[in-house]
Amino acid sequence: MNELWRKWRCRLFHVHVKNHSIGAAIRSVPKNMDKIDWEWLRVGERNSKNRCRVKMPQRTGSKPFRQIKYDMGGKSGNPPSFEQFWFETHKSGNILDNSKTEGKYDMIKKTIQENPDMEVFDVIESCFGPQNKGRVAGYGGSVKPNDIKGRSTKPIGT
């Protein structure tokens, strides 16, 4: 059912929203659908509000984290350290433009410098607090704590 729902919403988006302005997309209610239901399905407004609440946004766009790791040396068997990866995924140009992001980056650097043999997961938990079962800070939504426990701070996975 989830797959059918996603495909249906995607089809509606491409037909009625993708090549139109938001105002035009709102006005072009699909056939066989109530206006109230169409307004509820609008993705852009709800996602814009959610993005505004993010305190330390990643700056990679739609490029997956695994592709960034691959491009940063994973393809040659030398994946980036967590510190390098954090900077790469949160920079704007060549700087961290958010003071909160910059503070976390400094905390990550300091933790790794003080404890160079600390495992990646321990660094993450000391800088970001306990991680829940569904995601790990700095790795995106698809990585779970059990996926990285036991790895050193040098390679962050391929």
What was the pLDDT predicted at 37?
Answer: 73
* 109: pLDDT strictly greater than 90: yes
Tens-digit pLDDT profile for residues 114-140: 998 888 888 888 888 888 767 777 776
At residue 65, what are phi and psi to the nearest 5 degrees? Answer: -60, -40
In a domain, 45, yes or no: yes
- Please give the tally of structural domains in the chain: 2
The answer to the question of residue 58 being in a domain is no
Cα dihedral sign, 106-107-110-113: negative
How large is the greatest C-alpha to C-alpha distance in the chain, in angstroms? Answer: 62
- Global pTM value: 0.58
pLDDT reported for residue 45: 63
* pLDDT per residue as tens digits for the range 53-88: 766 666 677 788 888 888 988 888 888 888 898 888
Do residues 88 and 131 both lie within one domain?
yes
105: containing domain? 65-148
For residue 19, with 0-12 CB atoms within 10 Å meaning exposed, 13-18 middle and 19 or more buried, which class applies?
A: exposed
141 and 70 within one domain: yes
Do both 39 and 112 map to the same domain? no
User: Of 83, 87, 89, 84, whose CA–CA distance to 67 is shortest?
Assistant: 89
Locus of tokens 């079962």 = 133
Residue 155 lies in a domain: no
How large a percentage of the chain has pLDDT more than 90? 7
